Amino acid sequence: MRCLYCLKEKEELRLESFLWGSDPLCFACRKEMKGKIRKGRVKEMDFYYLYPYEGLFKSVLLQYKECFDEALYSVFLYSYQDLLKLAFHSYYLCCVPSTEAKMERRGFNHLEKTFEGLDLKLKRVGMKREYSQHKASLRDRKRMLDNYYLVDEFNEKDKILLVDDVLTSGSSLLGVYRILKPKAKKIVVLSLGKVTYDDS
C-alpha cells in the first residue's frame, strides 16, 4: 500500500500497524507530523492539541481542507482514535463551525469527517457573521468571541468534546467554549494543531 500523502510504498512492519491497523501514512511522513498529546491554556480555557501547525502537518491539513482531498481525513487521529473513543465515549461532539462558503466549496464538513470515527453524537453551534480567520485583524478576532449561537439544545448534564482544526489566537474555540460553558456539565477542548511561535 502507498502513503496517502507522499504516495511512496509503505512498509507495514511497525508495532502501530498491529495495534491500530494500517497507518494511512508511511513511517517517514508520520514521524515528520510530530504528533503528541500536548496541553495549553488560553485565558480561562484549557485545551489539548496533537500537532504543531508547521511542516508536514500544515501541508497535509491544507491539502485536506483547501484542496478538498477528503481521503486524508483518517490521517490526523491515527494512533489517538482508540484512546479518544475510550476517554470520551459518553460525550457529545461539538465542532467549531466553518463559514457556509467554505463548507459549500469543500462539499464536506472537514471536522465532522475527521472525528466521525469516535462515534459520538453531534451537537452543533452556528456562526452569526462570517469572518475569514486568516485575514481577520486582531479586532475582528476579538469580535469572534461573541460570534456564535447554539443550533442544537444543550443541557447541564451534557459532557462536550469541543474540537477545531488549528488554534491560532484561540478566539474561535474560546467563543464557542464561552457559550457552551453555562450549558454543559463538562467541556474538553481538543485542537488538531496549534500555531507555535518561536520566541527566540
Q: Give the CATH number for residue 170.
A: 3.40.50
Cell of 149: 449561537
Residue type at 170 in one-letter notation: G
8 within some domain: no
pLDDT at residue 138 greater than cutoff 80: no
Q: Is residue 12 part of a domain?
A: no
Domains identified in the chain, total number: 1
Strands 92-95 and 159-167: parallel
What is the Cα–Cα distance from 137 to 108, expressed in whole angstroms? Answer: 27
Does any domain span residue 14? no
pTM of structure: 0.88
Domain boundaries, position 112: 19-194
Q: Which residue has the cell 477542548?
A: 189
User: What are the pLDDT digits (tens) for 22-64?
Assistant: 899 998 999 999 999 999 999 999 999 999 999 999 999 999 9
Grid cell for residue 40? 495549553
- Is 167 domain-assigned? yes
